[in-house]
Amino acid sequence: MAYPDGLLGSDEYVVVHKHPHWKMLILPVLVLFVVVGGGFYLAALAASTSWQLPLWIGLGVIGAVLIAWWTLAPLVRWRTTHFVVTTHRLMVREGVFTRTGIDIPMSRINSVRFRHGLLDRILGCGTLVVESASDEPLEFDDIPQVERVHTLLYREVNDDPRDDWDYRAREDG
């Protein structure tokens, strides 16, 4: 089931649906490993003290807060961020408790470009830059397969139904 089926028009369908690239999760996973490893190390040190139970409880609470703040929150943020290209518009939805979104009709998009450095090229992601009727171009970072998304979005922007074979067949027949 493609996101966001409930928001699509009757003749609209999803062309591309992406979450940000997984590279956004590298730092949160590293934090998880450091907090868990450091917590076990400190718990082992606390085992030889007479205050071991209160220290273990304190380490557990601090570790849980750090993991929730630096690992779980970015994971949920990543999972609830959607970059969607449909046949009629470009949609971006972000957020968990406070949702934000932007819709750009295909007819308002003037140009589409992308950029990615060496690391982004190795990982297969990049930044998509969309110029529309607004003053400033919109930049969407960490788009997976940015070149493919760029090409598909460009095709949708420049798609003329009169160029479609089915349309010509209907007109001729």
Span 3-7, mean pLDDT? 68
**Predicted confidence (pLDDT) per residue in 53-92, tens digit:** 999 999 999 999 999 999 999 999 999 999 999 999 999 9
pLDDT (mean) for 24-29? 96
Determine how β-strand 125-131 pairs with β-strand 14-18: unpaired
The reported pTM is 0.80
What are residue 150's phi and psi, to 5 degrees? -60, -45
The CATH T-level fold of domain 82-172 is PH-domain like (2.30.29)
Q: What is the pLDDT of residue 161?
A: 52
CA distances from 50 to 38, 42, 47 (A): 20, 14, 8
Q: Which stretches does DSSP call E strand in the chain?
A: 14-18, 82-86, 89-94, 100-105, 111-115, 125-131, 138-144
Collapsing DSSP to helix, strand or coil, 91 comes out as strand
Residue 168: the pLDDT is: 39
Domain boundaries, the chain: 25-77, 82-172
Confidence class for position 166, pLDDT limits 50, 70, 90: very low
